[in-house]
């Protein structure tokens, strides 16, 4: 499968469709089972607060994966994602209610390369604060 977005049609500054993701405690349980990461800070409020966290927090890799969906949904082919990296700057605190936490992700093309790839810069925030720093992806376009 190849990317659905054409390199010729993309310019620096092109904004990708922003997305909002709800993260609930049930999502954390499912992610723990899928990833094998059963660290107690992701499900036990008592332990999370004892180690200085405000509450149970989402897995960093779950947060990273959700943010990456903005890029893969835009290009239409996850295989066209060549590189993706972030720094975890703040936790996503997930309250024990039906709403959970809301992760907001925006992205835009920050560089267009002569090899048919583009650099995408992502901004992921929770509760008004950035949670992923230096979030960058390089993708090959059609």
Asked if 106 contacts 37 with a C-beta cutoff of 8 angstroms, the reply is no
Q: What is the pLDDT of residues 21-33, one digit of tens each?
A: 999 999 999 999 9
pTM over 0.75: yes
Domain spans of the chain, in order of start: 7-23+58-140
pLDDT at position 4: 84
Count of CA atoms in the C-beta half-sphere (13 A) of 1: 11
First-to-last alpha carbon distance for the chain, in angstroms, is: 10
| Low-confidence residues in the chain, pLDDT < 70 | 1-2
Instruction: Map residue 127 onto helix, strand or coil.
Output: coil
Q: Which CATH architecture has domain 7-23+58-140?
A: Roll (3.10)
Per-residue tokens: 96 = 């024990």
């Amino acid at each position: 499968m190849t990317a659905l977005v054409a390199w010729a049609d993309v310019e620096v500054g092109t904004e990708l469709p922003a997305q909002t993701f709800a993260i609930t405690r049930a999502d954390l349980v499912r992610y723990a089972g899928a990833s094998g990461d059963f660290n107690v800070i992701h499900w036990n409020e008592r332990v999370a607060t004892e180690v200085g966290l405000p509450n149970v927090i989402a897995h960093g890799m779950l947060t990273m994966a959700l943010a990456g969906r903005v890029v893969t949904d835009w290009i239409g082919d996850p295989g066209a994602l060549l590189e993706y990296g972030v720094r975890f700057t703040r936790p996503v605190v997930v309250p024990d209610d039906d709403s959970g936490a809301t992760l907001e992700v925006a992205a835009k093309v920050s560089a267009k390369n002569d090899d048919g790839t583009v650099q995408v810069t992502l901004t992921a925030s929770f509760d008004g604060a950035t949670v992923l720093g230096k979030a960058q992806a390089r993708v090959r376009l059609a």
